[in-house]
């Protein structure tokens, strides 16, 4: 039986939550949304299943923290690259976002489950995450205003909306299940063979083409 000692300091709490999220990441990548349970997490951590409730109310809240971890790291790399560029063309921005996104495909996998994840979270937890998302939107708008000053506010808004659609749609299109492929063939269609990067880059070319 595992010995559980309650975390007392903010640092200890952060360490415990990080351990839980790390276990969640491994389980999710191996088995998907349904595989993540507190029981499965307890088997990969120093926690008993009941003790996990001291840190998270639901498995979805653990997954939201994992999603936020990916999201913050992803956009942090993007803005680090754009901020360090002495000049930034639309093509350069397209390549930066594509390169970073290709390295963070796990984030885009989680985008396909985001609605289910948020449905299982408390409002205050979702709101805390949305602040990160709005921070990203604001930074994109600021980037466009500084680097592409002839772009209208309306076009900048369309660019951000286009990114959101791309976030949710790229992974499911890039990684069809065997059943989906079989159904496409049975319907007389051709199974798409473009990679995640190819699809993402193609759409980013269209989006960045709006910037002036």
* Helix, strand counts (H, E) of the chain: 11, 0
Q: What is the pLDDT of residue 210?
A: 95
Q: What digits encode the pLDDT tens for the residues 25-48?
A: 999 999 999 999 999 999 999 888
Q: What is the pLDDT of residue 2?
A: 52
Q: What is the pLDDT of residue 46?
A: 84
Q: What percent of the chain has pLDDT over 90?
A: 90
Structure tokens at 152: 């209208």
Q: What is the pLDDT of residue 47?
A: 84
Nearest CA to 139 out of 91, 74, 195, 212 is that of 74
CB 171 within 8 A of CB 64: no
CB 117 within 8 A of CB 109: no
Q: What percent of the chain has pLDDT over 70?
A: 97
Dihedral pair phi/psi, residue 189, rounded to 5°: -95, 175
pLDDT over 50 at 1, yes or no: no
Q: What digits encode the pLDDT tens for the residues 108-118?
A: 999 999 999 99
Q: Which of the four pLDDT bands, split at 50, 70 and 90, describes residue 4?
A: low
- The pTM of this model reads 0.92
Domains of the chain and any CATH numbers:
1-56 (1.10.10.60), 58-208 (1.10.357.10)
CA pair distance 87, 52, nearest whole angstrom: 48
Average pLDDT over residues 76-101: 96
pLDDT over 60 at 63, yes or no: yes
Q: What count of other Cβ atoms lies within 10 Å of the Cβ of residue 75?
A: 20
Q: What is the pLDDT of residue 35?
A: 98
Structure tokens at 74: 């992803």
Average pLDDT over residues 119-134: 97
CA pair distance 116, 48, nearest whole angstrom: 25
């Amino acid at each position: 039986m595992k010995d559980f000692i309650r975390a007392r300091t903010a640092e200890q709490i952060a360490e415990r939550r990080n351990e839980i999220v790390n276990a969640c990441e491994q389980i999710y990548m191996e088995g998907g949304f349904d595989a993540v349970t507190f029981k499965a997490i307890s088997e990969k951590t120093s926690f008993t299943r009941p003790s996990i409730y001291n840190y998270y109310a639901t498995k979805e809240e653990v997954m939201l923290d994992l999603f936020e971890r990916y999201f913050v790291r992803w956009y942090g790399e993007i803005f680090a690259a754009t901020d360090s560029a002495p000049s930034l063309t639309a093509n350069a921005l397209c390549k930066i976002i594509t390169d970073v996104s290709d390295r963070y495909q796990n984030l885009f996998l989680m985008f396909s489950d985001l609605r289910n994840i948020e449905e299982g979270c408390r409002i205050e937890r979702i709101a805390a995450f949305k602040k990160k998302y709005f921070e990203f939107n604001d930074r994109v708008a600021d980037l466009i205003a500084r680097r592409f000053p002839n772009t209208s506010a309306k076009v900048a808004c369309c660019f951000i909306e286009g990114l959101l659609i791309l976030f949710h749609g790229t992974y499911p299109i890039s990684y069809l299940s065997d059943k989906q492929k079989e159904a496409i063939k049975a319907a007389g269609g051709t199974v798409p063979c473009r990679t995640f990067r190819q699809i993402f880059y193609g759409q980013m070319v269209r989006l960045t083409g709006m910037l002036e």
